[in-house]
Amino acid sequence: MSNPLRQRRVRLPSASEVVGVWEHAVLRSPVERGLTLLGFSEPGRSWSELSEIPLGERDQALWELRRVMFGPTISGFAACPACEEKLEFCFEVPEFPQVVEPDGGAFTRTLAEGEYAIEYRAPTTADVRAAAGISEGTEIRHLFLSRCVLQAQKQGTTISLEEVPEELVQRLEQRLSEENGAADLRLNLRCAKCTTSWEAPFDITAFLWAEWETLARSLLFDVIALARAYGWNESEILAMSVARRRFYLDMVPT
């Protein structure tokens, strides 16, 4: 059963928290790094609870955390799949519709068409972890569908997923993509050099982690420089405001 997010305002992490989250996640897998970042936005939740949050809501929380920490503008580079030319892109953090938990707390939905009805739930990080190690696309698709489809019926009689028409299964996949849009953002790009156009998926987890790690490492370099110059310890340095820390760094003899 998926576990929807509580509505909460994301706060700006302190310098100490930035380093602490980085230290906790730096040796973990990309999926676990995403859960660690989500855990900052959702304090008090267990690893298991975080794993059951729908992917769309997880990434929506990470988008908001990114906006709070680094602002609303996303900029980066993508390599053209045809000629490998580096293409710069820039866009604003999207506005995603809020997902409302249905009455009764059962976070499931139904796709009904003709004589068929499919009861399903949103994919979660637990599903992504279950797919770890699988490289074949059809196997991953089957795994996600088998985990997310809770029940399929034809004229009120339970049937297997394999008995559902492929066209209806494809519509279910399209609905899952639409309902979890924050986890399925794609950029329409065009290479200025060779004019190739392509659709590039954007992974907010990987992008935010790269920015978080850069910030954490910058803070640790500040600690090294100030500790050498003034003898202060890490806790004292990280507790300083950005303005004070920058002033003392500017005063360190070069």
Q: Phi, psi (5° rounding) for residue 195?
A: 65, 10
| pTM for the structure as a whole | 0.88
Exposure string of 227-254, with b = 16+ CB inside 10 Å and e = fewer, is eeeeebebeebbebeeeebeebeeeeee
For the chain, which residues make up each domain, given as ranges? 15-97+187-219, 109-185
Residue 193: name the closest of 108, 78, 110, 115 by CA. 78
Mean confidence (pLDDT) of the chain: 91
- The answer to whether 107 and 4 are in contact (CB under 8 A) is yes
At residue 104, the pLDDT reads: 40
Which element (helix H / strand E) includes 76?
strand 73-79
At residue 5, the pLDDT reads: 57
Residue 189: name the closest of 203, 207, 174, 201 by CA. 201
Over residues 16-57, the pLDDT tens digits come to: 999 999 999 999 999 999 999 999 999 989 999 999 999 999
At residue 159, the pLDDT reads: 96
- DSSP bridge pairs for 116: 113, 154
Q: Amino acid letter at 216?
A: A
Contacts of 46 (CB under 8 A, 6+ apart): none
Q: Which residues of the chain have pLDDT under 50?
A: 102-106
At residue 167, the pLDDT reads: 96
Q: Helix, strand, coil: what percent of the chain each, to 5?
A: 50, 20, 35
